[in-house]
């Protein structure tokens, strides 16, 4: 009977808490999928970097489990309160607490277990999709790993056990403490007013102040030229921000309420009074939960922003180091053989060979004096015609130069030298004087001329009598190049000279330099995949959890406070206006925990940009990442909002 | 006859040192086996608090409550559940039936939980249902039956253990007058034919007129006590109304 009752109650709960169950299932699915991925041989063997993926996953999972605990614990508590009368009745019938606890535990476990089982299916599909994405990133052939990893399943069970042990521990304690009177009359109980109420204004100001201090301290860590942020300070900032968030959330509801109440025009306009009162009472009764949600949203946004920064950085790096499929700097005589070698493997789309020239009076280098200085101790020049061909190979527009002009193309580190007077005109070794036509860092690549960090583009005639630094061969292929082919090419470039080192080993040096895009991509991708997947993983789970808690809370309010809307209706508010009121109310409720995180995460990414900007396309690229992050977050959040809105309307009209 | 319920100097105070509400203020009375007693009074007179203390839902501030000779004010937490199961039955204004269980299962609930033999359970449920005229709805769920039927199901649930005392808190509060009358007649029958001892809290004179004895509460104290004796229900009803008129206010309140 007891288990029959538990099963029936669980069945009923499925209907009422469908959003919650979907979220828990999704969370378990992600955990399982990531366990599968980090355990899959085909993934780990992609690159040496991917070994760390597993470690990162354990660490992240520990964190995620904690948050899932929060969700499940919250919802269990919530279900418990909603059914307090039912439990009271059990006690009245003479059922012992122990048995009631056992029944409710069984119910929670049934629900959790259903989620877990379904999650294996969904998780497996997710795993395939994510494997596909990773394989795509690495340009590796995609094949589905059909072998089912028992280890991943066991790990999922382990996480499940940990989560439910914690949740059930709290549940048992709650049941132990409950009094029959409180259960039977729970709905009639008044909320306790907080003793801190008087100080809300003060708390608000202090919290805001703490927030500003945290943001400023964080920014200071990244403001100096010598970037050396200390871990301790950053942690301190994080703690301060978290305290500030709880403080603001705790006090802001009343702040808004008193603002509305004190302004007669605002107070009596439309449904403002109703919405403000409902809202502030809501905030007052669940300020701690809302605070936690706000913290989660803050972390989510920061995670998403970081992933944007990382992604931008990696892409920029690829484009800086390997914009062309194959770049070879070697003896011109060997170029024919190189081309044959490439031709065997790929279809050559276009190729050019050109020379770089040296200018030893260092007219440019002497001015561009910074810590970014390359290892070449002379300026490197490229002929305009070669430069234009190189630009065209990247799909950029060709440029023109008068006979007495030059272009200085620098890496982003040298941007500060724009408009430098000493560069207005330069004189080369051969006596030709050139005026600066353009100074740019747009899409600079080290492939043009190794070891300088900048390149001087001169009219074709101006390289007369200058020594050649290197012969370059640049090839674009139809197909994507691979890491393997890079090794083949390097093997072909015979060492120029070999010598025995102090330990007796033969060490060979090669003056040639070979860059294959496929190899650079593979090197970068390991780290990028880890960063991106970890960030998105955290972001998705946190967002769904926040959405779920807000949805559950709103939907149960809709049932509980149905009469409020009936009263409004009787007072002459028609259906359309009622819906508008609901929309307004829910919008405020859902936006409330988002506003502060948006501000905090904006300042955070703004500070981090000081470090990242050098490796990004431009100083303001991070703004687009910020926008994308918000878009991603709101994309998921909106689904929960819409589901809540329609559920709310349904609950009220039922 | 045995005393089923004996209350001595019962006090129940709420609030803090600045603001004390004396919900039940020094009440002493007895209920004998087979009695059908009503507790009447205006809102806030302490009726429900009194009932809750007897039901072990509330603690007492001072005084003693004996049910079947056991002092429930000194019962330990873990013994309370068993005590309720064996000695008390409850009927509430809002039925308190579990909506995931059918009417029959609701009635059987406490027996089953406590490990009674399934066949005995079935027999007992059918017996009691027949007596209360709800045998046709045993398979239905609470939301499929009327309020009156729900309340009779609640009565059946309260009766099934043959408790020493049935506590009813405004049992007709959520019912229409026809259902109310039927329920009260059922309770009268329970009292007369099954010899159930019932204590009913109500503010409704009509409901109270079905009882044999009525205690009137005012401000937590017993204000009056009347017996039906050989009076007809109509006479008794009128008498109740008279007391209620007095209860409504003192002469000094009228100016």
- Residues of chain A positioned with their CB less than 8 A from the CB of B43: none
For residue A614, the tally of other CB atoms under 10 A from its CB is: 16
Count of all residues that appear for chain B in the document: 255
- Contacts of residues A234-242 at CB distance under 8 Å and 24 or more positions apart, as own/partner, are A238/A214, A240/A210, A240/A211, A240/A213, A240/A214, A241/A210, A241/A211, A241/A214, A241/A215, A241/A298, A241/A600, A242/A295
Encode chain B in three state secondary structure: CCEEEEEEEEEEEEEECCEEEEEEEEEEEEEECCCEEEEECCCCCCHHHHHHHHCCCCCCCEEEEEECCEEHHHCCHHHHHHHHHHHEEEECCCCCCCCCCCHHHHHHHHHHHCCCCHHHHHHHHHHHHHHHCCHHHCCCCHHHCCHHHHHHHHHHHHHCCCCCEEEEECCCCCCCHHHHHHHHHHHHHHHHHCCCCEEEEECCHHHHCCCCEEEEEECCEEEEEEECCCCCHHHHHHHHHHHHHHHHCCHHHCC
Q: What is the rounded CA–CA span in Å between residue A511 and residue A522?
A: 24
At residue A651 the predicted structure's pLDDT band, cuts being 50, 70 and 90, is confident
Q: Is residue B33 part of a domain?
A: yes
- How far the first Cα of chain B sits from its last, in Å, is 47
Q: Which residue of A has its CA nearest to B101?
A: A5
SS3 A624: helix
Residue A371 tokens, joined: 């810590």
Q: So where are chain A's domains? A: 1-189, 326-479
Confidence at residue A374, expressed as pLDDT on a 0 to 100 scale: 67
Please, which residues have CB within 8 angstroms of residue A4's CB and are 6 or more apart in sequence? none
Please indicate, yes or no, if residue B77 is contained in any of the structural domains.
yes
pLDDT at position B66, please? 92
Chain B CB contacts of A95 under 8 Å are: 81, 85, 110, 113-114
H or E segment to which residue A630 belongs: helix A621-653
Report the C-alpha gap between A140 and A278 in whole angstroms. Answer: 55
Q: Which of A28, A3, A264, A341 has its CA nearest to residue A161?
A: A28
Structure-model confidence comparison of residues A351 and A374, the more confident one:
A351
Q: Considering chain A, what percentage of its residues have pLDDT values greater than 70?
A: 91
Which of A86-90, A560-564, B46-50 tops mean pLDDT?
B46-50
The structure tokens 């009209």 sit at: A653
Q: Which of A506-510, A524-528, B54-58 has the highest mean pLDDT?
A: B54-58
Find all residues with CB under 8 Å of A192, minimum gap 6, and list them: none
Label the pairing between strands B165-169 and B88-91: parallel
Of A2, A9, A91, the CB nearest to B100: A9
Residue B254 lies in a domain: no
pLDDT digits (tens, 9 = 90+) for A580-623: 889 999 999 999 999 999 999 999 988 888 877 777 777 788 88
Contacting residues of B for A97, CB less than 8 Å apart: 81
Tokens 């199901």 map to which residue? B153
Given pLDDT bands bounded at 50, 70 and 90, which one contains residue A146? low
Tokens of A73: 């614990």
Q: Which domain holds residue B137?
A: 3-249
Q: A150-193: per-residue pLDDT in tens?
A: 888 898 899 999 999 999 898 888 888 888 878 877 766 666 66
Determine, yes or no, domain membership for B255: no
The answer, yes or no, to whether residue A294 has pLDDT greater than 90, is yes
In chain A, residues with a C-beta closer than 8 Å to the C-beta of B86 are 94
The Cα–Cα gap between A171 and B193 comes to 45
Query: Average of pLDDT values for A397-418?
Result: 84
Radius of gyration of chain B (CA): 19
Dist. CA A238–CA A222, nearest whole Å = 15
Mean pLDDT of chain A: 83
Q: Cα separation of A144 and A156, whole Å?
A: 21
In the predicted model, is pLDDT for residue A2 greater than 80? no
Report pLDDT for A213. Answer: 92
Nearest CA distance, A88 vs chain B (angstrom) = 9
ipTM: 0.77
Residue among A85, A94, A192 with most chain B CBs within 10 A, to mutate: A94
B78 within some domain: yes
Task: Supply the pLDDT for residue A507.
Answer: 65
Among A8, A85, A93, select the one facing B109 at the smallest CB separation: A93
Number of domains in chain B: 1
Helices first, then strands: H and E counts in chain A: 20, 11
Looking at mean pLDDT, say which of A287-301, A333-347, A400-414 comes out highest.
Answer: A287-301
The conformation of residue A192, written as its DSSP 8-state character, comes to P
Percent pLDDT > 70 in chain B is 96
- Asked if A89's CB is within 8 angstroms of B96's CB, the reply is yes
CA distance A146 to A124: 10
Mutate to test the interface with A, among B43, B84, B98, B106 (most CBs of A within 10 A): B98
Residue B81: which of A9, A86, A91 has the nearest Cβ?
A91
Question: B222 and B27 in contact (C-beta within 8 Å)?
Answer: yes
Nearest by Cα to B211 from B172, B248, B246, B176: B172
Residue A252 has pLDDT above 60, yes or no: yes
- Strand B36-40 and strand B198-202: the pairing is parallel
Instruction: Round the average pLDDT of chain B to a whole number and report it.
Output: 86
Query: Is the alpha carbon torsion for A250, A252, A255, A257 positive or negative?
Result: negative
Say whether B100 and A91 touch across the interface (CB within 8 A). no
Average pLDDT over residues A109-133: 89
Model pTM? 0.77
Task: Assign A440 a pLDDT band (cuts: 50, 70, 90).
Answer: confident
- Supply the CATH number for residue B238's domain: 3.40.50.300
Question: Which range has highest mean pLDDT (A82-86, A250-254, A635-639, B42-46)?
Answer: A635-639
Residue tagged 């030059």 (tokens): A406
For an interface test with A, give the residue of B55, B61, B72, B81 to mutate (most A CBs within 10 A): B81
Q: Residue A27: pLDDT above 60?
A: yes
Average pLDDT over residues A60-73: 89
Tokens 């650079």 sit at which residue?
A520
Q: For B68-97, how does the pLDDT look when each residue is reduced to its tens digit (9 = 90+)?
A: 888 988 888 778 888 888 888 888 888 888
Least CB-CB distance to A94: which of B78, B81, B96? B81
Phi (first) and psi of residue A196, to 5 degrees: -80, 0
Pick A94's closest partner by Cβ from B52, B84, B100: B84
Give exposure, A264-278, as e/b (b: 16+ Cβ within 10 Å). eeeeeeebbebbbeb
Q: What pLDDT, on a 0 to 100 scale, did the predictor assign at position A495?
A: 62
The pLDDT of A186-210, averaged and rounded, is 76
Answer yes or no: are the C-beta atoms of A439 and A418 closer than 8 Å.
yes
Q: What is d(CA A218, CA A609) in angstroms, rounded to the nearest whole number?
A: 12
pLDDT greater than 60 at residue B251: no
CB contact under 8 A, B110 and A99: no
**How many CB atoms are closer than 10 A to CB B190?**
23
Q: What is the pLDDT of residue A189?
A: 67
The β-bridge relationship of strands B165-169 and B198-202 is: parallel
Cα-based distances in Å from A103 to A1, A11, A108, B114, B128: 10, 14, 9, 14, 27
B44, B111, B113: best to mutate for the A interface, most A CBs within 10 A: B113
Q: Are A513 and A331 in contact (CB under 8 A)?
A: no
Give CA torsion, residues A305, A307, A312, A313, to 10 deg: 110
More confident site: B162 or B248: B162
Pairing of strands B3-16, A348-359: unpaired
Specify the pLDDT at position A591: 93
The size of the A-B interface in CB pairs under 8 A is 59
Closest Cβ opposite residue A5 in set B90, B101, B114: B101
Query: B191-230 pLDDT, tens per residue?
Result: 888 888 999 998 888 889 999 999 998 888 888 889 988 8
Give Cα separations from A150 to A113, A155, B114 (angstroms).
18, 8, 42
Interfacial residues of A (vs B; Cβ cutoff 8 Å): 1-2, 5, 8-9, 12, 85-86, 88-89, 91-97, 99, 180-181, 184
- Residue A5 and residue B81: Cβ atoms within 8 Å? no
Alpha-carbon gap, residue A564 to A558, rounded angstroms: 9
- Would you say residue A468 has pLDDT above 60? yes
Arithmetic mean of pLDDT, B9-18: 84
Whole-Å CA distances, A120 to A28, A117, B20, B43:
8, 5, 59, 57
Average pLDDT over residues A45-61: 77
């Amino acid at each position: 009977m007891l288990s029959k009752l538990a099963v029936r109650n669980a069945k009923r709960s499925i209907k009422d808490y469908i959003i919650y169950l979907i979220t828990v299932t999704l969370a378990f699915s992600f955990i399982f999928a990531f366990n599968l991925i980090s355990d899959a041989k085909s993934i780990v063997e992609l690159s040496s970097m991917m070994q760390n993926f597993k470690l990162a996953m354990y660490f992240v999972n520990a964190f995620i489990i904690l948050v899932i605990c929060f969700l499940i614990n919250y919802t269990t508590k919530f279900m418990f309160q909603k059914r307090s009368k039912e439990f009271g009745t059990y006690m009245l019938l003479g059922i012992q607490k122990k048995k009631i606890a056992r029944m409710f535990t069984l119910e929670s476990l049934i629900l959790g277990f259903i989620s877990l089982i379904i999650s294996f299916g969904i998780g497996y599909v997710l795993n395939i999709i994510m494997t596909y994405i990773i394989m795509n990133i690495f340009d590796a052939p995609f094949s589905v790993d059909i072998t089912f990893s028992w280890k991943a399943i066991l790990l999922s069970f382990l996480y499940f056990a940990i989560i439910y042990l914690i949740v059930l521990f709290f549940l048992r304690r709650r049941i132990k403490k409950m009094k029959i009177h409180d259960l039977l009359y729970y709905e009639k109980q008044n909320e306790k007013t907080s003793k801190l109420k008087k100080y809300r204004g003060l708390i608000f100001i202090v919290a805001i102040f703490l927030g500003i201090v945290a943001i400023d301290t964080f920014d200071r860590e990244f403001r100096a030229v010598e970037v050396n942020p200390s871990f301790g300070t950053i942690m301190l900032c994080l703690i301060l921000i978290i305290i500030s968030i709880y403080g603001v959330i705790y006090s802001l509801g009343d702040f808004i309420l008193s603002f509305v109440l004190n302004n007669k025009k605002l107070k009596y306009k439309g449904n403002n009074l109703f919405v403000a009162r409902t809202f502030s009472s809501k905030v007052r009764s669940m300020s701690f939960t809302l605070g936690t949600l706000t913290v989660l949203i803050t972390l989510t946004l920061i995670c998403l922003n970081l992933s944007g920064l990382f992604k931008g950085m990696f892409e920029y790096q690829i484009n800086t180091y390997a914009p062309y499929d194959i770049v070879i700097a070697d003896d011109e005589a060997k170029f024919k053989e190189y081309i044959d070698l490439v031709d065997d493997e790929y279809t050559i789309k276009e190729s050019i060979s050109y020379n770089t020239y040296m200018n030893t009076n260092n007219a440019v280098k002497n001015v561009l004096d910074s810590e970014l200085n390359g290892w070449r101790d002379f300026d490197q020049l490229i002929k305009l015609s070669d430069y234009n061909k190189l630009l065209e190979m990247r799909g950029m527009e060709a440029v023109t130069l008068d006979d007495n002009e030059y272009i200085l193309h620098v890496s982003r580190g040298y941007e500060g030298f724009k408009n430098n007077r000493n560069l207005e005109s330069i004189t080369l070794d051969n006596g030709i004087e050139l005026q600066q036509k353009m100074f740019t860092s747009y899409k600079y690549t080290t492939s043009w001329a190794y070891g300088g960090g900048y390149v001087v583009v001169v009219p074709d005639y101006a390289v007369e009598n200058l020594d050649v630094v290197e012969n370059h061969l640049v090839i674009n292929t139809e197909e994507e190049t691979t890491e393997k082919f890079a090794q083949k090419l390097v093997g072909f470039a015979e060492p120029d000279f070999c010598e025995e080192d102090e330990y007796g080993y033969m060490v060979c040096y090669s003056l040639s330099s070979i860059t294959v895009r496929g190899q650079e991509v593979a090197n970068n991708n390991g780290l990028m995949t880890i960063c991106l997947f970890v960030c998105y993983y955290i972001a998705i789970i946190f967002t769904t959890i926040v959405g779920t808690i807000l949805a559950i809370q709103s939907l149960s309010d809709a049932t509980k406070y149905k009469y409020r809307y009936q009263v409004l209706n009787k007072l002459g508010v028609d259906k359309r206006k009622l819906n508008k009121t609901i929309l307004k109310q829910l919008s405020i409720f859902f936006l409330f925990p988002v506003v502060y995180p948006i501000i905090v995460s904006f300042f955070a990414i703004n500070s981090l940009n000081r470090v990242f900007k050098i490796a990004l396309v431009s100083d303001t690229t991070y703004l687009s990442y910020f926008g994308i992050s918000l878009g991603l977050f709101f994309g998921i959040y909106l689904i929960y909002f819409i589901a809540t809105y329609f559920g709310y309307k349904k609950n009220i009209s039922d | 006859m045995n005393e089923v319920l004996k209350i001595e100097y019962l006090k129940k105070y709420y609030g803090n040192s600045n603001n004390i509400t004396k919900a039940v203020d020094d009440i002493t009375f007895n209920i004998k086996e087979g009695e059908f007693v009503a507790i009447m009074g205006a809102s806030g007179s302490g009726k429900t608090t009194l009932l809750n203390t007897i039901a072990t839902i509330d603690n007492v501030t001072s005084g003693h409550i004996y049910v079947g000779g056991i002092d429930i004010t000194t019962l330990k937490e873990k013994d309370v559940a068993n005590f309720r199961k064996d000695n008390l039955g409850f009927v509430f204004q809002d039925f308190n039936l579990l909506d995931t269980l059918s009417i029959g299962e609701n009635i059987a609930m406490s027996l089953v939980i406590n490990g009674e033999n399934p066949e005995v359970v079935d027999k007992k449920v059918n017996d009691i249902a027949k007596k209360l005229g709800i045998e046709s709805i045993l398979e239905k769920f609470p939301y499929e039956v009327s309020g009156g039927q729900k309340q009779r199901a609640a009565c059946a649930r309260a009766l099934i253990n043959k408790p020493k005392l049935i506590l009813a808190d405004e049992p007709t509060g959520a019912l229409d007058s026809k259902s109310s009358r039927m329920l009260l007649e059922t309770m009268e029958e329970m009292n007369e034919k099954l010899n159930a001892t019932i204590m009913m809290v109500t503010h409704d004179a009509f409901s109270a007129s079905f009882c044999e004895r009525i205690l009137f509460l005012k401000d937590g104290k017993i204000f009056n006590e009347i017996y039906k004796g050989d009076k007809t229900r109509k006479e008794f009803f009128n008498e109740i109304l008279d007391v209620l008129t007095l209860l409504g206010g003192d002469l000094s309140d009228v100016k």
